[in-house]
Structure 1
Amino acid sequence: MRFSGKRAVVTGGASGIGRATALQLAREGAFVVVGDVDEAAGRQLAAESSGCIAFRRTDVTQADDIEAVMRITHESGGLDIVFNNAGAGGAREPIDEISADDWDRTMALLLRSVALGIRFAAPLIAARGGGSIVNTSSVSALGTGYAPTAYSTAKAGVLHLTKMAAANLAKSNIRVNAVVPGFITTSIFTRHLDIPDDRRKMADTMIAGAAAKAQPIPRAGRAEDIAAAVTFLASEEASFITGTHILVDGGLTIGTRASWDPNEPSMLTALDAFK
């Protein structure tokens, strides 16, 4: 029960990585307030949690909503842990086609929301003597080809914001870290596609199959894989860790496919042919 007596906020907690993390925190003793725009899923999660999880509708593109979920949690007993996780794919257009409005909306959802989550949570966590903030970034922050330009840029911003916040908040005994997921089988890829549910499920299945072949560990990533990393960073086991990130990607970013797949031609295998 690593989080007995602790109180946490998880944004984007009604599904996917956020849901898995909220459940893990609750299983280990925390009282969790889930903020999400999906009221049906959020209320169902709270109803099934035996009183360990509460729900508040939270649109993280709205500063007032972010401030409210932090304040209400604090006023109901304190705030110790925040997981700034809410997000979606954002605008898909390349940099030479994207509109200014689409760029701004993506940044508001994926980067500004994290900054404001930290801003509104920090004084409340400090009032408890310190605590932990964890932010969701992405492998797309580390290189190209993983996600659209606006999404990737925002997630790279989250990594640097994490370092800046860790430096700013060390005086208040608040640790700030990030988790960097690889291909995780959640609905983030298809959630906003205007297609029937059966086709969306089919697409999710195809994505999961492709993800299982994309990295050295031969299975798709699961929301629970990320939840394990987040709960570690939020716990006292990570009390000497701040201003950094944990990469949870099944080895996706360790190198080109030829570096780990013996069936993939590489420069070395080409040279071996001349021996």
Structure 2
Amino acid sequence: MPRFTDKVVLVTGGNSGMGRAVAERLAAEGAAVVLGARRKDLGDQVAAEIRAGGGRAVFVPADVTVEEDAARLVQAAIDEFGRLDGAFNNVGGMNGFGPVPEISDSAWRADLDVNLTSVFYGLKYQLPAILAAGGGAVLNNASNLGVTGTPTVAPYVAAKHGVVGLTRAAALENAGAGVRVNALVTGGVDTPLFAQTMGATPEGRAQVEAMLPVGRIAQPDEIAAFAAFLLSDESRFITGAALAIDGGITAQ
């Protein structure tokens, strides 16, 4: 039997990259998927493709750095499918580059908003809904920079470390209530964000691949397989963890 039959899962950033791959994997395993992102054209396309393949999916335009939008996504899941059983908080981005003294206030706040505050808003509304449904799981994408450091992107590193801390606190608050909360520690993944930043040139891509012990970056479907496990009942004894799928980079 598919692992997510009769389950409803919210995926933010679900119109491309890891979010899209996770949404497609969950839908293929029986979940009803609610996609939340800013790009309506891409989101509608992904939802339509999932439905064309026999899955259940709706797209809700949303900016998860806005609290009202985070709440609206959860309400959309309940209105459309009657419940919420899980969530993958996957929105992220980089705005501040350079040494710390050169980071502008606006870039600092933008990185915190998109990478950390978005997760806080998500948890604030997802957790009560999942609890009301009888329990489930939340997975927050913290990236490998949530547990390590690197120069010239300090705002992103700080925000992702915050995601790990927020994940652990929320996990402990809900451990006895049947709601699990974990962080995903991803390494280099072949996504649009990667293509726009570190992988924008062949040299940049090669440099990232050289840093990874396995010698290559991940494909989104590899992340989706692990995320699906962590969102499923098969991982019901795992909570408050920062779990790596990073090609060995955090083992160095």
Report if the CA contact (8 A) 2:180-2:240 is conserved. Answer: yes
For 2:58 and 2:181, locate their aligned partners in 1 and report how far apart those are by CA, in whole Å.
24
Q: Is 1:181 aligned to 2:213, yes or no? A: no
Q: Is 1:164 aligned to 2:169, yes or no? A: yes
For 2:23 and 2:13, locate their aligned partners in 1 and report how far apart those are by CA, in whole Å.
10
Q: Name the CA shift for 1:100/1:203 in 2 (closer, same or farther; >3 Å).
A: closer
1:252 paired residue number: 249
Q: Is 1:33 aligned to 2:34, yes or no? A: yes
Deviation of residue 109 (structure 1)?
A: 0.8
Deviation of residue 213 (structure 1)?
A: 2.7
Report if the CA contact (8 A) 1:179-1:226 is conserved. Answer: no
| Structure 1 unmatched runs, 5+ | 194-199, 256-275
What percent identity do the matched residue pairs reach?
A: 37
Tell me which amino acid in the other structure corresponds to 1:116. Answer: Y
CA RMSD of aligned residues (A): 1.8
Report if the CA contact (8 A) 1:185-1:207 is conserved. Answer: no
Deviation of residue 142 (structure 1)?
A: 2.1
For 2:104 and 2:248, locate their aligned partners in 1 and report how far apart those are by CA, in whole Å.
34
SS in 2 for 1:163: helix
Could you state the TM-score of these two structures normalised by the residue count of structure 1?
Answer: 0.85
For 2:171 and 2:109, locate their aligned partners in 1 and report how far apart those are by CA, in whole Å.
25
Report if the CA contact (8 A) 2:71-2:125 is conserved. Answer: yes
Q: Name the CA shift for 1:147/1:170 in 2 (closer, same or farther; >3 Å).
A: farther
Report if the CA contact (8 A) 1:179-1:229 is conserved. Answer: no
Deviation of residue 216 (structure 1)?
A: 1.9
Higher relative contact order (CA 8 A, sep 6+): 2
Q: Name the CA shift for 1:57/1:205 in 2 (closer, same or farther; >3 Å).
A: farther
1:48 paired residue number: 49
Alignment map for 1:135-174 (pairs within 5 Å): 135-145=140-150, 148-174=153-179
| Structure 2 unmatched runs, 5+ | none
Deviation of residue 122 (structure 1)?
A: 0.9
How many pairs does the alignment contain? 247
Report if the CA contact (8 A) 1:229-1:246 is conserved. Answer: no
Deviation of residue 93 (structure 1)?
A: 3.4
Q: Name the CA shift for 1:73/1:142 in 2 (closer, same or farther; >3 Å).
A: same
Report if the CA contact (8 A) 1:140-1:147 is conserved. Answer: no
Tell me which amino acid in the other structure corresponds to 1:73. Answer: A
Q: Deviations over 1:182-227 (max 9, x none)?
A: 1111121354x7xxxxxx9x83655444333322213221112221
2:68 paired residue number: 64
For 2:208 and 2:140, locate their aligned partners in 1 and report how far apart those are by CA, in whole Å.
23
Which is helix-richer, 1 or 2?
2
Q: Name the CA shift for 1:55/1:187 in 2 (closer, same or farther; >3 Å).
A: same
Q: Is 1:105 aligned to 2:110, yes or no? A: yes
For 2:132 and 2:79, locate their aligned partners in 1 and report how far apart those are by CA, in whole Å.
11
Could you state the TM-score of these two structures normalised by the residue count of structure 2?
Answer: 0.92
Larger Rg: 1
